[in-house]
Amino acid sequence: MKDFKITVSFDMRSPEWATPTPELYRAAIEMAAFADRIGADQIGLMQHHGSDDGYLPQPFALAGGMAAVTSRIRFLLGAVILPLHDPLELAEQIAVVDNMSNGRLGVIFGAGYVPYEFAMFRKSLKDRAKLMDDGLDIVLRALRGERFEADGRPIFVRPLPVQEPEDIVLVGGGVPAAARRAARFGVGFGPMKGELVDLYLAECERLGHRPRTYFRPRPGMPLAVHLCEDPDRGWEAIAPHAVHVITEYAKWAQAEGEETNSPFKGLTDPAVLRHAGMFAAWTPQMLLERVSAAEGGSIGFQPLLGGLSPEEGWKSLKLLEATMPALREAIGS
């Protein structure tokens, strides 16, 4: 059996020229219910703050709404930017959503990188490593049910989650420190680079911790596939939305001073972006061929990519529904 996860993700971006935000949120709830019914593995919800296009700032709220209309699909929130937030409030949100979903929640905590977001929350980028460590400690102890003090204040969370906290929480990141942090706290790992998984597993063994949930990113699959009957027309439909998404990520990388290392640099031309393969417009047969040739990874769909019209997003999801039996056979599940 190949190690694939079929993921339907939402970042809720809505630039002024695209679909209005209220329409996107209504569609996202309906699409989550549909993804649950057709057998997708997980729903991915992202987080950023203060974005002009309305990038989802509160994934726990949306996950709660989606939990109410689903029964089996898991939710993966991430990266939730832990250093920006009160870890006590995060622990409470985790507990409530895990109960609402009856134990179907996973949360990837990231350290964050956008200076503007840290300024919004009166936090310093220089402190993010310490804020990550302190926050993880508080979240995990609170979700285990402990009553304790941290920074001179009492901490006590109820209700408790359905799952063990270590099976909910993952540390995300693209540097070795993230792998070591995940192992040290005995939680899962959501790396940006597949080679970091080996370091995580080695550190877990060294520390005597059982590895928790982790995944190994693999090259060869796009960030998101848009299923269509004609690849050229399909790309034409998603191209302005994909370019918008890439352009906004590139701006954040530039603000951090990482423009030269950004994987999004130079991809604002639709033809160049299409060739890069981060986003793809494929027929169902093309998807099956690519999956059959790949070892594993995420089969990702973003039916509302960059404010894509729900009508166009539904076309992709309906084709996914029709393709699902063959797709499951191709990945051996």
Say if 23 falls within a structural domain. Answer: no
pLDDT in tens, 282-321: 999 999 999 998 888 889 999 999 999 999 999 999 999 9
Q: Are residues 199 and 76 in the same domain?
A: yes
Token representation of residue 275? 């060739």
Indicate the range of 6-15, 20-29, 91-100, 289-298 predicted with least confidence.
Answer: 289-298
Q: Are residues 238 and 143 in the same domain?
A: no
Token representation of residue 244? 């918008």
pLDDT value for 260: 47
Average pLDDT over residues 22-29: 98
- Domain end, chosen from 147, 172, 207, is at 207
pLDDT value for 103: 98
Q: Are residues 156 and 54 in the same domain?
A: yes
Q: Are residues 193 and 228 in the same domain?
A: no
Say if 7 falls within a structural domain. Answer: no
Bridge partners (DSSP) listed for residue 224? 279
Instruction: Say yes or no to pLDDT of 277 above 80.
Output: yes
Say if 33 falls within a structural domain. Answer: no
pLDDT value for 257: 59
Taking the model in full, what pTM does it have? 0.95
Say if 70 falls within a structural domain. Answer: yes
Domain, as residue range, for 106: 41-207
Q: Are residues 45 and 191 in the same domain?
A: yes
Give Cα 101 to chain centroid, integer Å. 17
Average pLDDT, the chain: 94
Helix pair angle (284-293, 310-331), 10° resolution: 40
Ramachandran class of 269: left when φ > 0, alpha when ψ lies in -120 to 50, beta otherwise? beta
If 0-12 CB within 10 Å is exposed, 13-18 middle and 19+ buried, where does residue 185 land?
Answer: buried
pLDDT in tens, 164-207: 999 999 999 999 999 999 999 999 999 998 999 999 999 999 99
Token representation of residue 159? 């209700």
How far apart CA 15 and CA 241 sit, in angstroms, is: 9
Say if 243 falls within a structural domain. Answer: yes
How far apart CA 53 and CA 77 sit, in angstroms, is: 19
Residue 297: which H helix or E strand, with range? Answer: strand 296-301
Decide: helix, strand or coil at residue 75: strand
Q: Are residues 180 and 281 in the same domain?
A: no
CATH number for position 163: 3.20.20.30
Q: How many structural domains compose the chain?
A: 2
pLDDT value for 46: 96
Residue % of the chain over a pLDDT of 70? 97
- Domain end, chosen from 179, 207, 235, is at 207
pLDDT value for 296: 81
DSSP code at position 211: P
Average pLDDT over residues 46-60: 97
Token representation of residue 321? 């529904």
pLDDT value for 52: 96
Cis? peptide before 115, omega within 30° of 0: no
Say if 50 falls within a structural domain. Answer: yes
Q: Are residues 190 and 86 in the same domain?
A: yes
pLDDT in tens, 235-246: 999 999 999 999
Which residues, 6 or more positions from 320, have their beta carbon under 8 angstroms from its beta carbon?
38, 40, 227, 284, 301, 327
Q: Are residues 162 and 100 in the same domain?
A: yes
Whole-angstrom distance between the N-terminal and C-terminal Cα of the chain?
Answer: 7
Say if 214 falls within a structural domain. Answer: no
- Domain end, chosen from 182, 207, 232, is at 207
Q: Are residues 183 and 228 in the same domain?
A: no
Q: Are residues 202 and 231 in the same domain?
A: no
pLDDT value for 77: 98
Q: Are residues 60 and 193 in the same domain?
A: yes
Higher-confidence residue of 330 and 320: namely 320
Q: Are residues 105 and 73 in the same domain?
A: yes
